[in-house]
Amino acid sequence: MMHEAIRIEPFSSENQNDAKDLILAGLQEHWGSIDPARNPDLRDIGASYSSGVFLVAWMGQRMVGTGAVVPVGTDACEIKRMSIARDMRRQGLGRLLLHSLIERARAESFQRITLETTATWHDAIAFYLKNGFRITHYRHGDAHFIFDGEC
């Protein structure tokens, strides 16, 4: 379990490098390499996610998680860029961050919350299923989800 209190806060520009590094480390872990052309949103996270909310999780002075809620219509949003530091996984942080994102989506009156992840990332798929999402379909190597649960 986590030994220090976790704070979840909105992203600010001084978080840029830490957030980018955390997300890219997770991608590196999954893919074995990183293609910078596939992640243009990480060049300026504040601008890329200005239409929604991008949250960062802190344990002390260390960023340990990220996630965003982005509108995809008047009543729908998508959760994106969920990333948890490798050594912090399976300790409840992902659930805490995901539920914070769901609460933000509800506060903005979104009726539908979706997300997608790579279809071969079985741990991520199991995590989302365990936390109230269900798979709606698979497309182009990704599993697509909708939130049906309660926080």
> So what's the pLDDT on residue 2?
53
Burial 73-101, CB ≥16 within 10 A → b, else e: eeeebbbbbbbbbeebeebebbebbbbbb
Domain residue spans in the chain?
6-114
Please state the rounded mean pLDDT for residues 63-80: 96
- Higher pLDDT, residue 114 or 148: 114
Q: What is the pTM of this model?
A: 0.91
| Distance in angstroms (rounded) separating the CA atoms of residues 110 and 51 | 14
pLDDT for res 37: 79
CATH number for 6-114: choose from 3.10.310.10, 3.30.830.10, 3.40.630.30, 3.30.565.10. 3.40.630.30
pLDDT over 70, % of the chain: 95
Name the more confident of 30 and 127: 127
pLDDT of residue 30: 77
Using CA atoms, how far residue 41 sits from 31, 62, 90, 110, 136, in Å, is 18, 22, 27, 23, 26
